[in-house]
Every structure is written in structure tokens, then in C-alpha cells.
Chain A
Amino acid sequence: MSKRLTVANRDQCVGCFSCMYACSRTFRRAGSTNKAALRVRVYSGVEGAFSLRTCLRCAEPDCAAACPAGALVVQPQGGVRLERERCISCGACVRACVLKALQWDEEERIPLPCVHCGTCARFCPNNVLTLTEEA
């Protein structure tokens, strides 16, 4: 069994960004949205829509395939782990993710792969995100 973060109810998102703050705070010890391993994208207009971009934990991840340095290691359950010492900060991985789910730490110039821990989901007040069990 393994767990995977999923967007269960995109249309219940109110755009509070609590998920991104939770991820940054927990994993990067930072009060910010900029260190989160997921994104809530905002569309303009009077209270436009919100679109959530979270890691799908692909079996054959485009991000890993795009990495020229082999820094993103594909995991047995899918998704990637960063081997930081190998990363050459080229950003090819982030550009390769069509979903724009893989985030980039501008300060440290490294990608921020999601570990599917569910912290973001625990801090979502509207059940937009959930952590599901997978065989």
C-alpha cells in the first residue's frame, strides 16, 4: 500500500492557499507559498476559478526523463526523489511537467518534488485535497 495526494474537489477551492503555506511551513520551515510542492493557480475575473496542480506520481515521469543529470530518481511507487548533489539547477524538469505541478525553489534553484505526505490536505478547510490509499 502507498498513499497518493489527489485533487478530490477542485470546485470547492476558495483560494485561501492554506495548502501551500502548510507545505512550505512543514518541509521548508518557511512562512511562504514559494516553497510548496504544489500550486493553486488563479485565474482573473470577479472571483475567477482556481486550478490545483499537484504531482500525479507518474510511473514514467516526464520531469525525470528531462533531467540531463539524473538528479530525479524514479521511485518504485512512481514519482521522483531529488538527489540534490546531482542537480545542476537547469530547470528542465519543471519545464517538462505539462501540469506545472513540479515546483521550483527560486532561492535554492532546485525542484521541489511532492512526497505525498498529505500535510496540504490536512490544512485544507474545504476537502479539496485528499490522500488516497493505493495498492
Chain B
Amino acid sequence: MQENLLFVDLSTQTSRLVRDRELFDTWLGGTAAGTELLFRHCPPDCDPLGPDNPVIFVIGPLSGLYPVATKTVALFKSPLTGELGESHAGGRLAAALREADIDALVITGRAPHPTFLTIDNQEVRFHSARTVWGKSALATERILRDFDPQDGRKSSVVRIGPAGERLSPLACATVDSSRHFGRLGLGAVLGAKNLKAILVSGSGAFVPERLKSYRDTYQGIYDKVVHSGEMRKYHDLGTAGNILTLNAIRGLPTRNFSQGYFEGAEALSGESFARDWLVQHTACAHCQCGCIHVAEIREEFKPYHYRTTKVPYDYELIYALGTQLSLGSPEDVLRLILAVEKEGWDAMSMGCTLAWASEAFLSGVIGLDVTEGLPIQFGDAGGYLEVLHRIRTGAGQFYRDLERGTAHCAAVYGGERFAMHFGRVEPAGYLTGENALLTWIVGVRHSHLDDGGYGIDQKLLGKPQPLREQVAAQVKDAQWRMVTNSLVTCLFARSIYDGETTAAALAALGISRTPEELRRLGEETLRRKHAWKRACGFSPEKVTIPEKLFSVQTSNGPLDRERMAERVRLYLELADIAPASQETGTP
């Protein structure tokens, strides 16, 4: 039964275990339980980079026990947006936390010097990270996995790269080989805490309450994951399969959202990557789907001498560092992904910021005086690698600003009209229409994963639907995703974990929740998140849409200003979220 909260205070180098069964009885786990912990432990007015900002990692009741329940939720106050920071990652972290019998890990304070933590079966040790400070996210894993004394156990390694150490609000935290708490700046929050890495391992084994129904339910879910074809696309081509799908409907953002068609899409397609670059699939712990796609680049560094590097790829990376920058060569895109991966930035945010810089340079908003002699131009892969090098080495104010994100750069240098961000968060790769935009405006994380808006846009093509119905579908999806993210199962398996299956999976573990009760939990959790965002000073009504987007074609035609405002109003009404004017201070 879930109950264990492990609190780690970096300032005093102490830890304590608190048992709180009621938290999980009420809030199930994952994002719902994490939101409650955020209310308890994160003052909405705290400095995101100060010691008062906690980092909360939570797993859920299904973690480590059922197929594809692979995600860990991280909650914090975001240094990018100044409001809700929430990011989810796979890898082996959820499985390791389960075997260590830790349901939530709450890290507070600030270490007096660079530190990493080892957590083995709830026992916390603090180690000096002076020797790995400054090391890339990839090198840090190699070194610390060797340091880990738990030979043969399924340890998980969470760490930041140099971007997090420099407190870049675009910095991510990388989990195991290449999964990420990518968005909203967790890397900077950890960097500000002087926390380079966390290693988790455990020797525990959870005994389900009803063994027979556990095995039967497990088998049913396993069969759907492996044999039904519901997850096959994620394994076969992976998310990169979206490149041609979106290009065909003119929804693939190209050159800083100038259009939805990329002339080089064929070369960057999932099919092309699979044929010419894919060398390996891997999986998160307890995911039989295995959606991680790994390419290999081989470079001659002197005659007859080669270095070979594995680079993971996904749709969002190819969009952000490929079509957005007008790069048509998979090798160039992989090189940029590798540079971003080593430094520990969020690829989507960095790609969009480079796209803003390119348009700013192209339109004369910034010149060579600002870029210190370096032209930044669409299609110039060598130029972009040089930009990343300059950011990494802190060469010049402009380059230090670039890793603060699109909104910051536009405020300092201009070009607001084409600065692609929603509430300061750079968008994912969908120029499909108004539903996708609505997700970025009202979604709790400003993420395309907050609801299926981009999917609704795709279904609308040629089949118009009343506005209210579109928004209602979006709200319903957003609410159910709160349940998914509380279990915590991977969103790729969302069609498998429907209400009935989820209720059966929980029942076998001795947790009684009807599908209707789960839905209500989702509705309430969505409301609570918006309440916390409001307490931080955020209002969805005040999010502005980049002006440029009103003059481009989406898959569903041009955007309409009034209709977008109506969508926001409808969303808040249907989700029963109080409008800004009715707010009465801190909830």
C-alpha cells in the first residue's frame, strides 16, 4: 500500500521518512497526490531558484506493477514560467522508486556544495559532486553508474548537464540513458540546489493483495500492449512517423511556424530515419512496447579513424531541431540533438529559441553586432552548432540570453510578433489548428500532452464540429489525463488503460475506485492545478498568441481571434475553473 514520503533536506543534509496513507487514499498517487504535496510544501510566491522551491517526485499505484506504468511525475515551481512546473519522465526511475518502497520523494533546501544523492531502500547518502560538476549529462551517467555499488540491481540515475548548473530555465533533468524531465526547467531548479544527480535503487518486492486477479489483469493488459497493435506504431516507426502525417495535412511547423509544409520532410521522416539511421530500440523498465529509437552517427575524425555515437530521436526533436530550422539532413539533426543532449537542454525550447533567433536575424531585428559576427540563418547546420557552442562557453551576452528562452529573448531584443511561446513555454510541433493552440494556452503545463487538441484538429479536417463540442472533448481528455498521470501510466498506453481496465488493475492491488470515481478525481485535480497556477499569478485569459500565427495557414485554415477567446472561455466554463475576476486570493 502506498504511504511512504521521503523528505530530503539538502541544506541540513538530513532525511526523514513520513508515512501518510491518507494522502494516497484521497489522491491516488502521481500528479493528483503531487499537486496536494505542492500545496503543502511549495509557497506559490517562492523564488523558483531559491531553497524554498521543493522538487517533488511521485509515482502511482500501478508503477512498477503493470505494463507501461513507467512514468514518474516531477512537480516544482517553474523558473521558465514562474508558475506550475510539471514534467514526466520514463526510464527506470519509477521501477526503482517502487523497489525502494518510496511513493514520493520531496527534496528541499540547497546543498552547501555540489552534491549527488544515493537513495537505496529509503536510506539517503549525500556525496560530493565536485568532480562531476561541469560534466555533460551523458558523462555523468557513465561515471555515476560505475559508482553505484548495487551491482546488478535496476538503479536509476537522474542528473543534470551543465545547462542546469548555469541555471538555464530551458534545462532538463535526464533519466537513465535518454529519457527526460524535459520541460519547464527542472534542470535549473536542481542546479540551484547544487544537486547534480540522484541515484535510486531498492531490493523490495511488492506483494499484490489479490494475486490471481493481479495475474489475470496483468495478462490482459500485456496482451493488448504486445499483441493487439494498439501500441505498435510507437515501437515501429515511433513518434517520428508523425513527420509525413503532419506534412501531408500541412501541420508540420517549418521555419519558425511560417508554414505547415517542409519541403525536406521525406528525408526527415520516421521511415527515412528507420531505414538509414535506426540501430536500436530500447524500453523503459516494465514497458514491453519499447518506443525509444536510437540512431548512430559515424564521423571520420582523421583519415581512417572514426568515432561512433548513439543518439536517440523522436518526432518533437526532429521538428524542433529540423523543420523549425529548415535542416533537411538527418545527420545534421542528429548532431544538433547530441549537442543539446550533452548540455541538458529541453530540445523543443532550444529549437524554438534558435528559430526565433533565425527569424530575428533574417528580418533585421538583430544584426551581426548583436550576434558578434555570426550569421544565424535557416538551413545552416554549422551555424547552429556554433551558436550552441557559444552558449555552452558563455561567449557574449546574446548567447547567454539565448538559453533563457524565446520569451526572454524577445523581451530583450524585440521580435515579439514572431516569438513562439505560450505563457513563456515554447510549443510542440503542431500547426494543426485552434485546438492545438488552446492546449498550449489553457493546458496546465502548456504542453501538447495536456490534452488531445492536436488530435481533435486532425479529426476535424473535412468534418466540421460545433465549437462547444470540440472544447468539451478537449476538457474531457484533459481530465482523464489527470487520472493517467496519477496512476502513473505512459500516455502512449492511454487507449489500453480505460476506466474499466484501470479499475480492475487497481482492485487487484486492493484499491477500490470505480471509473466514475476516477473521472471525478481527474476533474478535481485539473481544478486544483489551475487554482495553484492562479495563486502564482497566472491567468489563462492573459496568455497572448504570437501575432505571426494570425497570418499563417494551419491545417484547418487561418486562426480567428474572437473564436480563440471563445475557446478559452468555454474551456474554463466546461472544466469548472473560476474565471480570473472571481478569484479570491490563495486557495
Contact = CB atoms under 8 A, between A and B. Distances in A.
A21 B310 CA distance: 28
Given A30-B205, A100-B152, A123-B222, A21 B286 contact: yes
Contacts of A28: 205
B286 A16 contact: yes
Interface in B526-540: none
Interface in A44-74: 44-48
A24 B311 CA distance: 33
Contact of B310 (A17, A32, A45, A107): A45
Contact of B95 (A29, A33, A41): A33
A47 B287 contact: no
Interface stretch (B138-146, B354-362, B436-444, B571-579): B138-146
A30 B154 contact: no
A28 B286 CA distance: 17
Per DSSP, chain A at the interface is: loop
A89 interface: no
Nearest to A49: B280
Nearest to A50: B282
A47 B294 contact: yes
A47 B145 contact: no
B205 A32 contact: yes
Contacts of B290: 14-16, 125-126
Nearest to B341: A46
B64 A44 contact: no
A39 interface: yes
A45 B140 CA distance: 10
Contact of B142 (A30, A32, A45): A45
A45 B215 CA distance: 34
A125 B288 CA distance: 6
Interface stretch (B206-214, B262-270, B460-468): B206-214
A11 to B, nearest CB: 9
Nearest to B226: A125
A125 B178 CA distance: 21
B207 A30 contact: yes
A124 B259 CA distance: 44
Interface string A1-36: 000000000000011111001001110111111110
A86 B98 CA distance: 32
B142 A41 contact: no
Contact of A48 (B177, B202, B203, B207): B177
Interface string B21-54: 0000000000000000000000000000000000
Interface residues on chain A, size class:
20 to 34
A100 to B, nearest CB: 6
B376 interface: no
A35 B214 CA distance: 17
A106 interface: yes
Contacts of B152: 39, 41, 100
B205 A46 contact: no
Contact of A15 (B65, B214, B282): B282
Interface in B190-233: 202-208, 211, 214-215, 218, 222, 226
Interface string B534-550: 00000000000000000
Contacts of B287: 16
B285 interface: yes
A42 interface: yes
Given A46-B312, A47-B292, A125-B226, A14 B281 contact: yes
A96 B281 CA distance: 33
A98 to B, nearest CB: 14
A16 to B, nearest CB: 4
Contacts of B285: 15-17, 33
B284 interface: yes
Nearest to B215: A25
A44 B142 contact: yes
A31 B205 contact: yes
A24 B281 CA distance: 25
Contact of B206 (A30, A42, A123): A30
Interface string B275-316: 000001111111111101010000000000000011110000
Contact of A17 (B154, B281, B294): B154
Contacts of A21: 286
B146 A106 contact: no
Contacts of A34: 99, 153, 202-205
A16 B153 CA distance: 14
B220 to A, nearest CB: 13
A47 B310 contact: yes
Contacts of B208: 29, 31
Contact of A35 (B154, B205, B311, B312): B205
B309 A44 contact: no
B496 to A, nearest CB: 14
A106 B204 CA distance: 8
A26 to B, nearest CB: 8
B95 to A, nearest CB: 7
Contact of A44 (B146, B207, B218, B283): B146
A75 B178 CA distance: 43
Interface string A73-108: 000000000000000000000000000100000110
Contacts of A29: 207-208, 211
A101 to B, nearest CB: 11
Contact of A32 (B141, B204, B211, B280): B204
Nearest to B287: A16
Contacts of B341: 46
Interface in A106-131: 106-107, 123, 125-126
Q: Which residue among B142, B154, B178, B208 has the maximum number of chain A CB atoms within 10 Å of its CB?
A: B154
A75 to B, nearest CB: 25
What are the nearest 6 A-B pairs in CB distance? A32-B205, A30-B205, A16-B283, A14-B290, A31-B65, A44-B145
Given A16-B285, A31-B98, A47-B292, 19 more contacts: A14-B281, A14-B283, A15-B282, A15-B290, A17-B286, A30-B205, A30-B207, A31-B214, A32-B204, A33-B95, A34-B153, A44-B142, A44-B145, A45-B141, A46-B178, A46-B310, A46-B311, A125-B226, A126-B290
Interface of B: 64-65, 67, 95, 98-99, 138, 141-142, 145-146, 152-154, 177-178, 202-208, 211, 214-215, 218, 222, 226, 280-290, 292, 294, 309-312, 341
15 contacts: A15-B285, A16-B283, A16-B289, A17-B154, A21-B286, A29-B211, A32-B99, A34-B99, A34-B203, A41-B152, A46-B309, A46-B310, A47-B177, A47-B312, A123-B222
